[in-house]
Amino acid sequence: MNSPRPISVVSTFASPSSPCDSTKKPLSLWPGMYHSPVTTALWEARSKIFESLLDPPKDAPPQSQLLTRTPSHSRTTIFYPFSSDFILREQYRDPWNEVRIGILLEDLDALAGTISVKHCSDDDSTTRPLLLVTASVHKIVLKKPICVDIDLKIVASVIWVGRSSIEIQLEVMQSELKDVKASSDSVALTANFIFVARDSKTGKAAPINRLSPETEVEKLLFEEAEARNNLRKKKRGGDRREFDHGECKKLKAWLAEGRIFSDMPALADRNSILLKDTRLENSLICQPQQRNIHGRIFGGFLMHRAFELAFSTAYTFAGLVPYFLEVDHVDFLRPVDVGDFLRFKSCVLYTQLDKLDCPLINIEVVAHVTSPEIRSSEVSNTFYFKFTVRPEAKARNNGFKLRNVVPATEEEARHILERMDAEALNSSK
């Protein structure tokens, strides 16, 4: 099967649609008003699929027969012509002449969502469409800096399907050279998104089209994703893990050090800091312009906001400009709606100082949907980010040294150990 043509991204200062094309629904009428260069390009490329989602027939029946798709059916490539499109380049540029990671997270979520819709569609305009929502992000790993002056592409496809869940793998690729004709693209970032399907009328889990891997690589990716899914189910069903002897000793040592900060602060280790003293927080009212095609707040927007807070937390903690390495895990625990009062709370959970040339800062961001009227606050999302310090910033500060983070309560200490355990488990997979 021939590969589909890449979807070209353009700046959003002008719509790629021709203004005289009166047969096409204007982007301004799309209920999901959160537009970026990529979401706009995806809308233009997949308008027929999305229009059936926006205007389904009344009392339409659910899909009656599941189809079998191959990964190539929904494989999609996004192309960013940074070398020739100055306006697009400026929309993505960060202060270090690299691509803004927060915006890239939005694009990854938008592309993954588009692919999941295409895989799950039955191409029948008389059936009611499925509601597909981001359930979690397994991992996003930055393998090398992404320069904003060199053309970029994202290649994404379905790698695994369960009964009502689907996993999308995305690879961000960029040439090592500024020669636009260079063909030696290498992977700069990888990401895995998991979506779940719901019946748009009943809200219950809905079965989705099957996946038939064709190549050996596709079969291997399917097996690896299947193993991750089984592990997720096992973790959900398991009881709280008991710590071993070594972990209990570590927990007690942390709490002893934390008590010194509380009882004898003048004698506390100056190379350590209490976890609670690393916290930052911001809040916002969710606006209609931030909603997705289903009327809920766009998951990529939430990841972007969480990343910005995590970056700021790492910056104020280290005292030098941080450098993003990976998103270890993201959970989407409940939907966020227009008008919700959303609070993001961050902290440095722990540091890893064993590698002097690359010390690690592990940041947790928790998003809460707060309802003052009913005195309620629920966790909607948890995000785990990993940063180090930019090499050029560290080179200018020869005396640079990161602090250890110390928990003040047993709850904090247990949470740190659980996250260390989860990270070790994710790294081994």
What is the model's pLDDT at position 60?
74
Tell me the per-residue pLDDT of 256-265, one tens digit each, with 9 for 90 and over: 888 998 889 8
The residue from 234, 268, 289 where one domain ends is 234
Residues 86 and 49 grouped into a single domain: yes
pLDDT confidence bin for 20, thresholds 50/70/90: very low
Residue 23 pLDDT greater than 60, yes or no: no
Q: For residue 15, what pLDDT is reported?
A: 45
Residue 295 C-alpha from the chain's centroid: 19
CB-facing half-sphere around the CA of 406: CA atoms within 13 A: 20
Select from 303, 317, 310, 322 the least CA-distant residue to 281. 310
- DSSP string for 142-165: E-S--BTTS-EEEEEEEEEE-SSE
Same domain (yes/no): 109, 158: yes
**Residue 187 structural domain:** 7-13+29-234
* pLDDT of residue 266 exceeding 80: yes
Is 20 inside any structural domain? no
Share of the chain above pLDDT 70, in %: 83
Asked whether residue 318 falls in the same domain as residue 387, the answer is yes
3-state secondary structure of 86: helix
The chain-wide mean pLDDT, for the chain, equals: 84
pLDDT at 16: 42
Q: Give the model confidence (pLDDT) of 98-134 as tens digits.
A: 999 999 999 999 899 889 988 988 776 667 778 888 8
Q: What is the DSSP string of 181-226?
A: T---EEEEEEEEEEEEEEETTT-SB----EE---SHHHHHHHHHHH
Domain co-membership, 194 together with 300: no
Percentage of residues of the chain with pLDDT beyond 90: 50
The CATH number assigned to the domain holding 395 equals 3.10.129.10
Q: 103 φ, ψ to 5°? A: -70, -35
21 pLDDT higher than 90: no
Instruction: Determine, yes or no, domain membership for 276.
Output: yes
3-class SS of residue 376: strand
Instruction: Report the pLDDT value the prediction gives residue 342, as an integer from 0 to 100.
Output: 95
User: Could you tell me if 230 and 249 lie in one domain?
Assistant: no
Backbone angles phi, psi at 137, to 5 degrees: -115, 120
Q: Is 386 left (phi over 0), alpha (psi -120 to 50) or beta?
A: beta
Ranking 45-54, 220-229, 236-245 by mean pLDDT, the lowest is 45-54
Domain shared by 94 and 176, yes or no: yes
pLDDT tens by residue, 39-63: 777 766 665 565 655 566 667 777 7
- Any domain includes 273: yes
Residues 134, 109 contacting (CB under 8 angstroms): yes
Same domain for 329 and 416, yes or no, is yes
Q: φ and ψ at 286, to 5 degrees? A: -75, 125
Strands 210-211 and 68-69: parallel
Of 305, 273, 260, 271, the C-alpha closest to 286 is: 305
Residue 18 lies in a domain: no
The answer to whether position 83 is within a domain reads yes
- Inside any domain, residue 322: yes
Within a domain: 239: no
DSSP summary character for residue 83: T
Q: Do 150 and 280 share a structural domain?
A: no
Please tell me whether residues 194 and 267 are part of one structural domain. no
Q: Are the beta carbons of 390 and 322 closer than 8 angstroms?
A: yes
Last residue of a domain, one of 207, 234, 261: 234
Q: For residue 400, what pLDDT is reported?
A: 77
pLDDT at position 12 over 80: no
Residue in this structure with the two tokens 């008991």, named with its chain if needed: 242
pLDDT for residue 223 is more than 90: yes
Domain contains 109:
yes
Q: Is 133 exposed, middle or buried (0-12, 13-18, 19+ CB in 10 A)?
A: middle
Tokens 């506390």 correspond to 268
- Distance CA(277)–CA(405), nearest Å, equals 9
Antiparallel, parallel or unpaired: β 152-161 and 165-175: antiparallel
Residue-wise pLDDT tens digits, 271-320: 899 999 999 999 999 988 788 777 788 889 999 999 999 999 999 999 99
288 and 227 in a common domain: no
Same domain for 284 and 367?
yes
Identify the CA nearest to 12 among candidates 112, 106, 140, 134: 106
Please tell me whether residue 323 adopts helix, strand or coil conformation.
strand
CA–CA separation, 8 vs 43, rounded Å? 12
Claim to verify: residue 279 and residue 230 sit in the same structural domain? no
Asked whether the predicted pLDDT for residue 30 surpasses 60, the reply is no
Backbone angles phi, psi at 419, to 5 degrees: -70, -40
**Does position 64 have pLDDT exceeding 60, yes or no?**
yes
Among 175, 208, 234, the domain boundary falls at 234
With residues binned 3-state (H G I as helix, E B as strand, rest as coil), the percentages for the chain, rounded to 5, are 35, 30, 35
Above 60 in pLDDT, residue 181?
no
Crossing angle of the two packed helices 37-45 and 101-120, in degrees rounded to 10: 20
Cβ count near 339 (within 10 Å): 10
Report the pLDDT value the prediction gives residue 31, as an integer from 0 to 100.
47
Distance CA 292, CA 35 (A): 9
Checking if the pLDDT of 152 tops 90, the result is yes
pLDDT at 268: 85
Number of domains present in the structure of the chain: 2
pLDDT at 379 over 90: yes
Which pLDDT value is given to residue 107? 93
